[in-house]
């Protein structure tokens, strides 16, 4: 348990709850003819979240900071894979499924462990083409396969 | 028509060739999902939804829904079989519900009895599957008849009970679990309000009008969260896999495990029926119970076969039991059943008391197919266990990127938006951070699914009573449900104050 994380999470969720309550006031009046409008539920939830977050913040002052022996965290590896995943998401529509999937897998495989290029290329090709043809051609699903020129 | 007649009709649906195939594919993938660490039944089911949706797209709606749910449920209980394999052979549970199996299962493997442990786990799971199905058949009618009496107030209280149960048992801190529940409910309010048609929290972004897709959030929080964790923190390569050896159990093994299997099945089934308690809890309880019943409790932890047979039966029975609240009340009790429910709703089939009247082929077809699926699993898991054990050896460096790619495919093929892919990645990070800091994510997903229904019933009840909140307390059934819900939250709290540790319930 990390005290700092719990504290910041408490503050963030407190703000989310507050935001919810404030923003709920802006929900337009219902024409539904009931006293129970669309804003009741969000306001209630926001208030409960505020109370719970306050409770969490209070708790963080009571327990001792946990000593968790954490192993080395591989930020670099994660950062490369995560940013290529973001690119994968952004380019999937313009470049099509096959190309982006292939590139993403090649980058991710090589980031996980470099070398063995043949295996990397074979698996990435098989997966990207295999999924596309099985899904789009054989099963008739729709997926943007290749870039449209 | 009598229950038996319905069941027979169900079998005629389950025995259609395409449904046999669907059940087979489901349990096969389920076993693989169970064996692979890092991908649990929840993400497995979620990822297969687009694939089943595409395969069944040509069929009439009801047949399509029946076939899909047969496959998806197969993944769910198949994973319960597969989860034991890694526990026994590698000492790493494939699912949280197989954690206790490592205690005696791995010890048995070290003594060269891995084959016996695996086959007892499969036999126990099979027996449990059958027990839970008999329970399902017997309880389905009466329960849905009771549920038909429910008004909005009762439904609201019942769903509150479901959420209270999940939050009360999940994770180390109840405050955090409740926060996650409320946060999930809040996310569920984004989009067009179903009652009044007014857009809430959409900020004029068209993509938000239909709300956040629970599939995206579930896959992100569970599958990607786990993948990110493994990428960031993988400390060591997995240990060596134990040799399987002789598969068939000895007569002595069978004799020693017969009673634990029966006890585990019954216990697991009833725990599974309770909303919120899941397969993990069932297996923990069964292990504790077996240790109590045993004449030689000191043998537990050193390779007692009862320590494998009981919990493995219990977790499978619980997954069958968990179908009951889903099918009869329309209330999912766990993360995975919440996803199954989402799949049914996609086909415009509302689980609940009317399911058995409106769509008998879906309900009974599913129940009958679970008989068929369990039989397949028994056959698959006995001779083919060595093949499945090979799946464990899939190197992580290929597995992890492929799980990311499958998640992308799964989400994009259903949603067709880049927004959902980015939401998926964001949920992955969120899932990693939350789980790492003991914020349980299962209540969040469950709340997201239940949120709109809870709000709907809340508002209908309040409209009936002219805004008077007392309606929830004056209706006797609703009051009882609320009291149980409160007890569910307060009792663990009180036990904690007394300094007792409480069994954790994680993803199942």
Q: What is the mean pLDDT of each run of 10 residues along chain B (508 residues)?
A: 81 89 92 80 83 80 88 89 83 78 86 86 90 87 84 90 79 86 93 83 85 86 87 67 74 85 91 76 87 84 87 89 86 81 83 84 88 88 78 82 90 87 95 90 86 89 86 91 89 72 47
Is residue B31 a part of any domain in this protein? yes
* B433 chain-A contacts, CB cut-off 8 A: 5
Helix, strand, coil abundance in chain A, percent, nearest 5: 70, 0, 30
- pLDDT at position B420: 93
- pLDDT at position B501: 54
Is residue B505 a part of any domain in this protein? no
Q: CA of A128: which chain B residue's CA is closest?
A: B405
Q: How many CA atoms lie within 13 A of B66 on its CB side?
A: 31
Which of B451, B429, B457, B407 has the alpha carbon at shortest distance from B191? B451
* B396 chain-A contacts, CB cut-off 8 A: 112
- pLDDT at position B508: 42
Is residue B504 a part of any domain in this protein? no
* A48 chain-B contacts, CB cut-off 8 A: 182
Number of Cβ within 10 Å of residue B404's Cβ equals 25
pTM for this model (two decimals): 0.86
pLDDT at A32 over 60: no
Point out the residue among A28, A36, A88 whose CB comes nearest to the CB of B467: A36
Point out the residue among B176, B182, B232 whose CB comes nearest to the CB of A49: B182
Interface test with B, best of A48, A55, A112, A131 (most B CBs within 10 A): A112
Outline where B322-359 has alpha helix (H): 323-324, 335-346, 355-358
- CA max distance for chain B: 69
- pLDDT at position B92: 76
Interface contact flag, B397 A143, Cβ < 8 Å: no
Distance CA B454, CA B451 (A): 5
Interface contact flag, A41 B412, Cβ < 8 Å: no
Distance CA B89, CA B494 (A): 39
pLDDT at A71 over 70: no
Is residue B120 a part of any domain in this protein? yes
Give the number of domains in chain B.
1
- pLDDT at position B505: 47
Sort strands B199-200 and B191-192 into parallel, antiparallel or unpaired: antiparallel
- pLDDT at position B507: 42
Interface contact flag, B438 A1, Cβ < 8 Å: yes
C-alpha dist (Å) from residue A96 to A24, B46, B416: 40, 23, 12
Interface contact flag, A141 B54, Cβ < 8 Å: yes
* Tokens 């009974």 belong to residue: B364
Q: Which of residues 186-205 of B touch A (CB under 8 A)?
A: 186, 189, 193, 195-196, 198, 200-201
With an 8 Å Cβ cutoff, is B504 touching chain A? no
Outline where B15-113 has alpha helix (H): 17-35, 41-55, 61-90, 101-110
Tens digits of residue pLDDT in B11-70? 888 898 889 999 999 999 998 888 887 677 888 888 888 788 878 877 888 888 899 999
Q: CA of B428: which chain A residue's CA is closest?
A: A82
Domain containing residue B377: 3-497
DSSP 8-state assignment for residue A66: P
The backbone torsions φ and ψ at residue B503, rounded to the nearest 5 degrees and listed phi first, read -65, 135
Point out the residue among A56, A88, A93 whose CB comes nearest to the CB of B408: A88
* A104 chain-B contacts, CB cut-off 8 A: 401, 404-405
- pLDDT at position B171: 67
- pLDDT at position B506: 45
Q: First and final CA of chain A: distance in angstroms?
A: 52
* B55 chain-A contacts, CB cut-off 8 A: 139
Interface contact flag, A89 B439, Cβ < 8 Å: no
Interface contact flag, B228 A71, Cβ < 8 Å: no
């Amino acid at each position: 348990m990390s005290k700092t994380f719990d504290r910041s999470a408490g503050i963030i969720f407190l703000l989310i709850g507050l935001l919810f309550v404030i923003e709920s006031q802006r929900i337009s009046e219902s024409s539904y003819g009931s006293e129970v409008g669309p804003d009741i539920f969000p306001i209630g939830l926001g208030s409960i979240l505020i109370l719970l977050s306050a409770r969490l913040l209070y708790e963080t002052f009571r327990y001792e900071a946990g000593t968790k022996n954490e192993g080395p965290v591989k930020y670099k590896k994660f950062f490369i894979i995560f940013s290529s995943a973001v690119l994968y998401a952004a380019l999937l529509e313009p470049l099509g499924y096959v190309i982006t999937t292939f590139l993403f897998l090649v980058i991710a495989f090589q980031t996980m462990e470099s070398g063995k290029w043949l295996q990397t290329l074979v698996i990435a090709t098989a997966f990207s083409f295999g999924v596309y043809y099985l899904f789009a051609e054989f099963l008739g699903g729709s997926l943007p396969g290749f870039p449209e020129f | 028509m009598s229950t038996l007649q319905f069941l027979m009709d169900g079998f005629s649906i389950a025995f259609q060739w395409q449904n046999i195939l669907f059940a087979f594919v489901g349990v096969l993938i389920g076993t693989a999902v169970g064996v692979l660490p890092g991908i649990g039944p929840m993400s497995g089911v979620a990822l297969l939804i687009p694939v089943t949706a595409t395969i069944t797209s040509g069929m009439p709606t009801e047949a399509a829904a029946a076939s899909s749910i047969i496959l998806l449920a197969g993944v769910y209980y198949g994973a319960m079989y597969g989860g034991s394999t890694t526990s026994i052979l590698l000492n790493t549970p494939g699912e949280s519900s197989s954690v206790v199996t490592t205690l005696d299962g791995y010890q048995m493997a070290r003594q060269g009895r891995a084959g016996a442990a695996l086959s007892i786990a499969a036999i126990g799971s099979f027996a449990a599957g059958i027990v839970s199905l008999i329970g399902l058949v017997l309880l389905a009618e009466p329960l849905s008849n009771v549920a038909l009496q429910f008004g909005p107030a009762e439904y609201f209280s019942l769903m509150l009970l479901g959420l209270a149960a999940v939050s009360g048992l999940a994770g180390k801190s109840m405050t955090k679990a409740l926060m996650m529940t409320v946060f999930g409910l809040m996310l569920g309010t984004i989009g067009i309000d179903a009652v009044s048609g007014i857009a809430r929290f959409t900020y004029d972004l068209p993509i938000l009008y239909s709300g956040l897709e629970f599939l995206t959030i579930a896959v992100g929080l569970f599958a990607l969260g786990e993948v990110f964790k493994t990428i960031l923190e993988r400390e060591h390569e997995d240990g060596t896999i134990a040799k399987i050896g002789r598969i068939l159990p000895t007569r002595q093994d069978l004799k020693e495990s017969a009673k634990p299997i029966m006890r585990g099945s019954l216990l697991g089934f009833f725990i599974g029926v309770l909303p919120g308690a899941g397969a993990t809890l069932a297996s923990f309880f069964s292990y504790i119970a077996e240790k109590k019943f045993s004449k030689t409790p000191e043998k537990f932890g050193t390779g007692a076969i009862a320590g494998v047979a009981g919990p493995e039966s219990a977790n499978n029975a619980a997954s069958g039991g968990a179908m009951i609240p889903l099918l009869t009340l329309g209330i999912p009790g766990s993360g995975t059943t919440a996803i199954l429910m989402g799949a049914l709703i996609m086909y415009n089939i509302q689980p609940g008391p009317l399911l058995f009247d409106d769509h008998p082929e879906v309900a009974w077809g599913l129940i009958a197919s679970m008989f068929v699926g369990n039989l397949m699993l028994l056959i698959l898991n006995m001779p083919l266990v060595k093949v499945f054990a090979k799946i464990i050896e899939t190197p992580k460096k290929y597995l992890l990127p492929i799980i990311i790619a499958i998640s992308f495919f799964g989400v994009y093929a259903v949603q067709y938006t880049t927004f959902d892919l980015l939401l998926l990645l964001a949920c992955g990070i969120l899932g990693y951070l939350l789980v790492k800091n003991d914020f349980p994510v299962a209540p969040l997903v469950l709340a997201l699914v239940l949120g709109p229904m809870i709000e709907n019933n809340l508002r209908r009840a309040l409209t009936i009573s002219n805004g008077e909140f007392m309606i929830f307390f004056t209706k006797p059934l609703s009051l009882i449900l609320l009291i149980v819900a409160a007890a569910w939250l307060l009792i663990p709290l009180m036990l904690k104050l007394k300094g007792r540790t409480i069994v954790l319930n994680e993803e199942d």
